[in-house]
Amino acid sequence: MLFREGPVDRPEELFDRDEEFKELRDALNGRRLVLLLGVRRVGKTSLARAATYDRARVYVDLREFEWRQYVTWDDFYAALRTALPRSKKALDLLSRISGVSVAGFTVEFARGRGRPHLPETLKALDEWAAAESKRLVVVIDEAQELYKLKGGSFTPVLAWAYDNLHNVVFLLTGSKVGLMHRLLRLDDPESPLYGRYVHVIKLSPLPREKALEFLAKGFAESGVVYSPRLLEAAVDHLDGVIGWLSYLGLETTRAGKLTEELLREVVEKAARMAWGEFCNFVKLRGTARYLHIVHAAAEGATWSELKRYLEIKEGPINDAELSRLLKSLVDEGWLEKGEVYRLTDPLMRYAAKNGWRC
Ligand SMILES: Nc1ncnc2c1ncn2[C@@H]1O[C@H](COP(=O)(O)OP(=O)(O)OP(=O)(O)O)[C@@H](O)[C@H]1O
Ligand SMILES: [Mg+2]
């Protein structure tokens, strides 16, 4: 079925994305470090999973760290533990490392000071890949969360792996482009990764025609009745964000028919989800200024328009402070900066236009 609850797993289940799929496969064959970037729900996890479906892979999902203030190495190891290959040979190599114990297919990492050395752990996986004549893909989904790692940075390990492991390729996905750059600092001569080649793939929302085709194809498959006018209206609201289109697809399949009322309900529900995530961010940062900025940017706004709006709400604000707030909203993927500042998510725009609060 085209509409599904979770991410796509297999290549044949992907709608469209032929070019990006091919580019990613080629990059995974030839490169050491690949980034897959795109806004929330655009289909990064699906593409990453489908493109590595038949590959030796370690799939580390860091999404759960999104709302944490910080992440520890033990947290990272806990996520890594469940992602390891279920191969006797790989586990045997890992079991020789201090801090790793293996019983059957279960791996335990010692915590705190006794925890295994990450380069050694990756080296064991590299050796396993070499012995199997495979190229191992280490996928780190929502890798930018590692910028919150306490007690040492992840980047030196990545740089070391880049230089020394010949049978491992890293695929990092991220929906917060600014944070990803802050983590990797590719253009900073002081960064351990400086000068390394990184292949970057940007995943965009579907173009309008493709978004319409996606809905029409899924509706035809599940026997949903709809009018072309409502299909257009749905894409007006949801853009080509495939996660939102799938959500509408699933809800409509349940109802059997796409009506004006159902579309309104689904948009409202989906907007609540998107808005709830943004409110988590506002709470985590502890300032309502982000909320005012997002309201002001509902229809797109320039720097001075945002400043004026914020000053009406909160009184004088200095330029440096406003720039810092905006940078943080851009880094976290809520806003994008073109000719004006604009909200990246169509449903965030809906919520902001309606003046929702947290
Ligand atoms: N190419 C595709 N064909 C069909 N469905 C897709 C495709 N890409 C994504 N989807 C659907 O869209 C939804 C969101 O996709 P996915 O989780 O891969 O996006 P994401 O960018 O990783 O999102 P998030 O930012 O929340 O992690 C999923 O339900 C998935 O089934
Ligand atoms: Mg994802």
Atom 31 of ligand 1, nearest CA residue = 7
Residues 229-281 pLDDT 10s: 999 999 999 999 999 999 999 999 999 999 999 999 999 999 999 999 999 99
Structural domain includes residue 175: yes
Band of the pLDDT at 216, cuts 50, 70, 90? very high
Buried b (16+ CB within 10 A) or exposed e, 301-316: beeeebbebbeeeeee
**Do 196 and 223 sit in the same domain of this protein?**
no
Structural domain includes residue 42: yes
**Do 218 and 308 sit in the same domain of this protein?**
no
Residues 54-87 pLDDT 10s: 999 999 999 999 999 999 999 999 999 999 999 9
Mean pLDDT of all residues belonging to the chain:
96
Structural domain includes residue 269: no
Structural domain includes residue 268: no
Q: Helix count (H) and strand count (E) of the chain? A: 15, 9
Residue 130: per-residue pLDDT: 98
Structural domain includes residue 6: no
For the record, the structure tokens of 192 come out as 């351990």
For ligand 2, the distance from its centroid to the CA atom of residue 134, given in whole angstroms, is 25
User: Which ligand 1 atom sits nearest the alpha carbon of residue 17?
Assistant: 1
Residue 317: per-residue pLDDT: 95
Structural domain includes residue 263: no
Phi first, then psi: give them for residue 244, nearest 5 degrees.
Answer: -70, -40
Band of the pLDDT at 22, cuts 50, 70, 90? very high
**Do 235 and 348 sit in the same domain of this protein?**
no
pLDDT average, residue stretch 198-224: 97
For the record, the structure tokens of 224 come out as 């949903």
Structural domain includes residue 106: yes
**Do 75 and 98 sit in the same domain of this protein?**
yes
Residues 119-150 pLDDT 10s: 999 999 999 999 999 999 999 999 999 999 99
Percent of the chain at pLDDT exceeding 90: 98
96/80 Cα distance (integer angstroms): 17
Q: What is the pTM of this model?
A: 0.96
What is the number of structural domains in the chain?
A: 3
CATH number for the domain that contains residue 310: 1.10.10.10
Neighbour count for residue 192 (Cβ, 10 Å): 19
Residues 6-20 pLDDT 10s: 999 999 999 999 999
With a 6 Å cutoff on the Cβ, whether 136 touches ligand 1 is no
- Tell me which ligand sits closest to the C-alpha of residue 273: 1
**Helices 289-296 and 346-353 meet at what angle, rounded to 10?**
100
Percent of the chain at pLDDT exceeding 70: 100
pLDDT average, residue stretch 153-172: 97
**HEC secondary structure over 253-272:** HHHCECCHHHHHHHHHHHHH
**Do 164 and 21 sit in the same domain of this protein?**
yes
Residue 117: per-residue pLDDT: 96
With a 6 Å cutoff on the Cβ, whether 14 touches ligand 1 is yes
Question: Last residue of a domain, which of 202, 233, 248?
Answer: 202
Structural domain boundaries enclosing 251: 206-258
For ligand 2, the distance from its centroid to the CA atom of residue 345, given in whole angstroms, is 15
Structural domain includes residue 1: no
Residue 353: per-residue pLDDT: 98
Question: Last residue of a domain, which of 258, 292, 324?
Answer: 258
Residue 157: per-residue pLDDT: 97
**Do 17 and 103 sit in the same domain of this protein?**
yes
E strands along the chain, which residues? 33-37, 57-61, 100-103, 106-109, 136-141, 168-174, 199-202, 335-337, 341-343
